[in-house]
Amino acid sequence: MFTLLIGCTLCCCPGYAAPAKPDLLLAEVYRDNIDVQQYWVSEKLDGVRAFWNGKQLISRGGQLIAAPAWFVAHFPTQKLDGELWLGRNAFAETLSIVSKATPVDSEWQQVAYYIFELPDAPGSFSERITLMQQLVLQQNSPYLKLVPQFRLASKKQLQAKLHELEQVGAEGLMLHHQDAAYTTGRSNALLKLKTYQDTEAEVIGYRPGKGKYQGMVGALVVKMPDGKTFAIGSGLTDALRQTPPEVGSIITYRYNGLTKHGLPRFARFLRVHQTF
């Protein structure tokens, strides 16, 4: 019986109904006319967004995350918002681990839940940071951590920090206004800063490879939501060139602005997009 209970996950335990899609705080894109000193800054983690409702971990898309019972055993009854994170440049591996209907203990032991918000908690964000620090200490769980929040004195320091973290594989930075009350939906109280942009496109075909890529896919031909098409070859691994994303699948790519014709500049494949 003891072994059975330890292996039980939240999706199979009695009393846990199917969750509703959580209403979360979403970031606006950073704008250069802000006073950086009014914001807390943190690394933008490239993990899987997860909402803790006091009983269950739920994905941004409203899917129940089948975390092992031991993983959440010391989580509080208070609502939390954060990221399930394995490490930098490990989004695909993280998604693979946390999206399984039957969790693998050895895989989940590599993951931690990094929180950055207390949904519905009163006070300013500065006050909520203090509450989160206290909560993480009180719960004393090796799998519950706080995303480090820090201050920067100027936009020059902000850009330097962005460059420093991106050099070691970080996705970017998040800026949260110190006085912001908790809210949900898209808000300029929370800003995201990256040197590149990313979005999705539909795969509609392939271009054949040449030279060392002879017999493989040279590039994916993709369609943007506005109907424009272009090819992406950069970022494709040899494995993807041999077995590319299927026509009709959605991919995520990064780019640096648009050309005068409205096409992405320096587009680079990131991953196959999965709604979770």
Catalytic residues: 44
**Are 53 and 218 a contacting pair, CB within 8 Å?**
no
Q: Which of 85, 61, 102, 82 is nearest to 274 (CA)?
A: 61
Question: How many other β-carbons are positioned within 10 Å of the β-carbon of residue 151?
Answer: 12
With a CB cutoff of 8 Å and minimum separation 6, the contacts of 132 are 115, 116, 118, 146
E strands, 180-258, are 185-193, 197-208, 217-223, 229-232, 250-255
Q: Which of 42, 35, 45, 29 is nearest to 151 (CA)?
A: 42
CA distance 131 to 143: 18
With a CB cutoff of 8 Å and minimum separation 6, the contacts of 55 are 10, 16, 77
CA distance 254 to 200: 9
Cα separations (Å) of 48 from 81, 95, 156?
A: 11, 6, 30
